[in-house]
């Protein structure tokens, strides 16, 4: 029986139902990796900066199989001029054989975003090419203000036990109803998994993911397994309950080392 972390939840105020574990596309892996994860409730597919064919093929297969309504597809552009936003989204949708994506993200947004780009994204939503708009950013303090403008509903942020700043400078300031929050860089590309515990053993990838998934303000924690074995190991997180307060505090202390 799945634990609490194996239960789907709304992606913030979007109402989209998502598994707590999501998938990125950078490392690729076989199509079976994405197929098997989806059947276990992992349905947030972020076709991100590195667009591997395996996730492309899995999305095509799932949609063609009549399960598009269970899949949440997030697409992204890193362009900085408005016409490129439209071209990028249209090209990605053609490649994936989709009519729309669920979330369209402006990549690596800094403290400001050009109003003309916001207007262009809003037009794409009006055309039905995306259901919700969002941004990825390391500038956490911009998120509450952006969330209140009723344009952006999903935010990808960096969060880990070594970088938990969002607990104090973001989450307490989110509007109600709050936007969807997706965490990335949870293991800092694997580096945090090698931090030593007091007994000398490494923290491990699962504990790093478990820490982030245990935060009730985070809806999805993205993973990017490169092999089917790694994906199956990550799926064991879905049988778990959130970390206790003491367990999370122990992780935070190790993150300061």
Domain coordinates of the chain in residue numbers? 16-255
Say which CATH topology domain 16-255 has. Answer: TIM Barrel (3.20.20)
Of 66-80, 102-116, 117-131, 144-158, the range with the lowest mean pLDDT is 102-116
> What is the model's pTM?
0.95
Select the highest-mean-pLDDT range: 46-60, 143-157, 209-223: 209-223
The more confidently predicted of residues 231 and 194 is 231
Residues 77-89 have a mean pLDDT of 88
Q: Residue 38's pLDDT band (boundaries 50, 70, 90)?
A: very high
pLDDT at residue 78, rounded to an integer:
87
Looking at residues 213-233, what average pLDDT do you find? 95
Over the stretch 98-110, which tens digit does the pLDDT of each residue have? 999 999 999 877 7
Average pLDDT over residues 215-232: 94
For the record, the structure tokens of 106 come out as 């402006």
Report percent pLDDT > 90 for the chain.
74
1, pLDDT greater than 70: no
Task: Give pLDDT, residue 120.
Answer: 92
Average pLDDT of every residue of the chain: 92
Q: What is the dihedral of CA 112, 90, 55, 69, to 10 degrees?
A: 100
């Amino acid at each position: 029986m799945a634990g609490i972390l194996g239960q789907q939840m709304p992606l913030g105020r979007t109402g989209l139902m998502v598994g707590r574990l999501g998938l990125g596309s950078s490392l690729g892996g076989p199509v079976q990796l994405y197929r098997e994860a989806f059947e276990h409730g992992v349905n947030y597919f972020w076709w991100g900066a590195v667009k591997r064919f395996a996730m492309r093929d899995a999305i095509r297969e799932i949609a063609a199989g009549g399960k598009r309504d269970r899949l949440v597809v997030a697409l992204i552009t890193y362009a900085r001029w408005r016409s490129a936003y439209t071209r990028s989204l249209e090209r990605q949708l053609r490649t994936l054989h989709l009519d729309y994506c669920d979330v369209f993200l402006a990549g690596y947004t800094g403290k400001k975003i050009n109003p003309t780009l916001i207007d262009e994204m809003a037009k794409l939503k009006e055309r039905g090419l995306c259901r919700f708009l969002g941004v990825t950013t390391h500038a956490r303090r911009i998120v509450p203000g952006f969330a209140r403008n009723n344009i952006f509903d999903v935010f990808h942020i960096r969060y880990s036990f070594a970088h938990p700043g969002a607990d104090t400078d973001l989450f307490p300031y989110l509007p109600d109803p709050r936007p969807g929050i997706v965490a990335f860089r949870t293991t800092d590309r694997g580096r945090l998994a090698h931090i030593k515990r007091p007994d000398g053993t490494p923290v491990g990838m699962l504990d790093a993911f478990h820490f982030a998934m245990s935060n009730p303000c985070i809806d999805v924690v993205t993973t990017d397994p490169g092999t089917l074995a790694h994906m199956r190991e990550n799926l064991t997180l879905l049988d778990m309950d959130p970390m206790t307060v003491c367990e999370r505090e122990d992780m935070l202390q190790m993150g300061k080392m």
